[in-house]
Amino acid sequence: MIAILVLIAFLGLCGWIAYAAGPKFALKRLGGALLVLVLVTFAVSTMLQFTNGDESTKQALEDLGVSRNSQPCVTALGTGASVENVNACVEDRGLDENLFVQYGKWTKQLVIDRDLGLAFYKNGEKLSDTMKQRLPRTAWLFLYSQLIALVLAVPLGIWSAYQAGRKGRGLPSWAMPAGVGLILLIGIFGGFRITTLFAIVVAAVALYSIFAGGRLADNNTNFLAFALLSIPVFVLGETFRYAFAVERNVYSLSGYQPWSSGAAEHFKSIWLPAIVLGLAATPVYLRLLRADMIQNLQQDFVSVAKAKGMSNTHILLRHVLRPSTVTLITVLGLNIAQLVNGAIVVEFIYDLDGMGSYLIAAFARREFFAVQTIVAIVAALFILTNTLIDVLYTAVDPRVKADADS
Amino acid sequence: MTNVAQEIAVGSQHAAEAQAATPGGDGKRRNVLFGLAVAWLVAVVGIVVLGWIFGESLPGLRDPAAINQDAINAGPSWRYPFGNASFGEDVFSQVVDGGRISLFVGFSVTAIGIGLGGAMGLFAGYYRGVIDGIVRLIINVMLSIPALLLVIFIVTIRGQSLANVILALSLLAIPALARIVRASTLQVADREFVKAAEVLGVKRASILAREVLPNVMPTLISFAFLTTGIIIVVEGTLSFLGLSVQPPTLTWGKIIAVGRAKLDVAPHVVAFPSLVIFLTVLSLNFVGDQLLKRFDIREASL
């Protein structure tokens, strides 16, 4: 079912490229994507050779009556594995053959037999079953975090770019540091919790920026985004876990609840990880959108629109935001990689049993075959999405095709 | 994947950021912040290096593994500025000790990335042709696997040691820097003085070394700071997940990983290393960003 959908999507993609950009261009683009995909999966499959160990290990394995190259299988099955099991695994993986046969066997199993292999060799759990159970959690986490990031980043980015070229209210420059200092003094002597105090300071700076407007507002937004960008995801996650799950009992670390147990339960179980992942992605989008919009605001067509008497809102949303959206979508695609990194960390922190925490478990148990398959799938998704966006870009912006042709 | 769209996006990101996106307000305030960031970096590197050389003979530094039964999970005090961990270990000494690995990995990976990635990008951007094709393919292949996934994969396959962590992170830094240097080289190679040198019949290798390289250098230096920050974060994440160097070697991420189990009774064990990582990365990002802006010739005029 899923395979058919993917196939339809792929055919649709081919047709769309051929239509939007001409067959020669389409061939070039798709061929490039396919080449990268093959090279990535081949590189991943080659990396397993490093688990083979040195000559003494190989000799020891031979003495035990199994193949010289069976180290990956022995690692996957554990030291208590029987000789037959190891031999079956070696046969299954083609470890005695050369690299290309191994790669061929693996891809044939993946693509033609649509068999993902085992999630855990030690207990024979199927990877497809694991994914059926765990993938929805990660998928919802991705979706919510991206929604949060966009809801925060797009309005803030537009507002920030708009304020950058405006005159503010001309408030004295010492007002903000003095205000923040006052709040800190009150907070420290009033015995506020540090997390509360921090939230109050951020809120006060935000309110002050909205009131003041102008370059100051732009600078403050930018600085907050810059600071947020410099916080590692695991620091952000631990801080939020402390503030909401340890210090206060707002979020309970009781594990994921699916939609079937009710929307309220579902959101209750996932909101904090989604916010953490969303906040990590927000500054990337915010800064990009702001910078891109400022560039667009300096174009001649903005002056023309202004001269025609269009309202600021209309110019911002229709003439400036529109071209910037394309850039934003490109970065959304590129950010998938960042999202996967974030998901591994966030799921680890919040004990959310998604694909990220499965990966950590698989690494800890040395289940390289499953990890290899997942890395390949993630890379394939990444390449596919970005090719799609690339083509979308071509359809929207003819300059890209002109660049590629030259 | 021919990443024209990506390159445009990345390019406009750089151009636009160099143009206006540096936070911190106008000139004077920005200079103060720049000074603060540099001061913080110098202080952190200085204290970590001094702690490395002189060890416990420095005042305030103790054995990071020493057990102190009187101060289990004690909060910050004058004697122990960062408080004590679950066996009464001095968190400040742990942070100074852990900084060795974190900073060493950050700097060495950046050096490798600049050396190899920079060379790749420079040759690809100037000589074009087949070299360019190969380098672009390498870049695209490497960057289509999510960074953390790739690093964890390599580290678990090859074993958890300092050399392997550096190797894995270098594989991350090389293509990323190669891509940036290549884009920058393409821009420089298009300028008049390079064309003039070519017309005058100067050897290409000589043009590369004497005309192109000095003009790519500013971008390279700015991105060296940004890369160091990113590498410190990734190494911290690896340690946090328990996949970096083996215990008992400390890193900043590992202090947090150990402390997170006792977050309810001793939050300071997580808070102080987190704060140090955050401020270090923030300073590195800010310095890199500022340098990128200051080196940007488009803003200057005669």
Residue A292 to residue B147, Cβ atoms within 8 A: no
Instruction: Give the CA diameter of chain A.
Output: 87
Inter-chain residue contact A32 with B281, CB threshold 8 Å: no
Looking at domain B4-16+39-296, which CATH architecture does it have?
Orthogonal Bundle (1.10)
Higher pLDDT, A114 or A105: A105
pLDDT at B19: 45
Asked if A223 and B24 come within 8 Å (Cβ–Cβ), the reply is yes
Chain center to CA of A130: 21
Give the pLDDT band (50/70/90) at residue B281.
Answer: very high
More confident residue, B298 or B190: B190
A37, A51, A291: residue with CB nearest B157 = A51
Residues B243-257: tens digit of each pLDDT: 888 878 888 999 999
Min Cα separation B32/chain A (Å): 14
Chain B: give the shortest CA distance to residue A260, in Å.
31
Whether the CB of B24 is below 8 Å from some CB of chain A: the reply is: yes
Q: pLDDT grade, residue B233 (50/70/90)?
A: very high
In this predicted structure, the answer to whether residue B126 has a pLDDT above a threshold of 70 is yes
pLDDT of residue B79: 77
pLDDT of residue A274: 93
Contact A239 B141 (CB under 8 A): no
Mean pLDDT, residues A133-142: 87
Q: What angle do CA A20, A284, B234 make, to 5 degrees?
A: 115
Compare all CA atoms of chain A with the CA of B270 and give the residue at the minimum distance: A238
Q: Give me the percent of chain A exceeding a pLDDT of 70.
A: 90
Please report which helix (H) or strand (E) contains residue B18, including its range. Answer: helix B4-20
- ipTM field: 0.85
pLDDT bracket for residue B300 (50, 70, 90): very low
Q: What is the pLDDT of residues A34-54, one digit of tens each?
A: 888 888 888 888 887 776 666
Of B3, B20, B146, the CB nearest to A390: B3
Q: Per-residue confidence at B296, pLDDT binned at 50, 70, 90?
A: low
User: Minimal Cα–Cα distance from A199 to chain B, Å?
Assistant: 16
> What is the rounded CA–CA span in Å between residue B103 and residue B280?
10
Indicate the residue of A230, A247, A331 with minimum beta-carbon distance to B285: A230
**A325-329, B25-29, B151-155, B201-205: which has the minimum mean pLDDT?**
B25-29
**pLDDT at position A405:** 52
The reply to whether residue A238 touches residue B274, judged by beta carbons under 8 angstroms, is yes
Residue B171: C-alpha distances to residues A51, A379, B134, B221, B240 (Å): 18, 16, 16, 19, 20
| Residue B158 reports pLDDT greater than 90 | no
Cβ–Cβ below 8 Å for B154 and A47: yes
Question: Is A50 in Cβ contact with B281 (below 8 Å)?
Answer: no
Average pLDDT on A232-256 reads 86
**pLDDT of residue B12 exceeding 50:** no
Sign of CA dihedral B227, B233, B235, B241: negative
**Overall average pLDDT of the A338-361 stretch:** 88
Interface residue B288 vs chain A (CB under 8 A): no
Cα maximum dimension of chain B: 77
> Do the beta carbons of residue B150 and residue B171 sit within 8 Å?
yes
Residue of chain A with shortest Cα separation from B154:
A47
- Average pLDDT (A168-175) is 78
A2-21 confidence digits (pLDDT tens) = 667 777 877 787 777 677 66
- The pLDDT, as a whole number, for residue A196 is 84
For B17, nearest residue in chain A (alpha carbons): A291
Residues written for chain B: 302
How far the first Cα of chain A sits from its last, in Å, is 41
Q: What percent of chain B has pLDDT over 70?
A: 88
> What does the block give as tokens for A158?
């537009």
CB contacts < 8 A, A to B, total: 192
User: pLDDT tens-digit profile of A200-225?
Assistant: 888 888 888 888 888 888 888 888 88
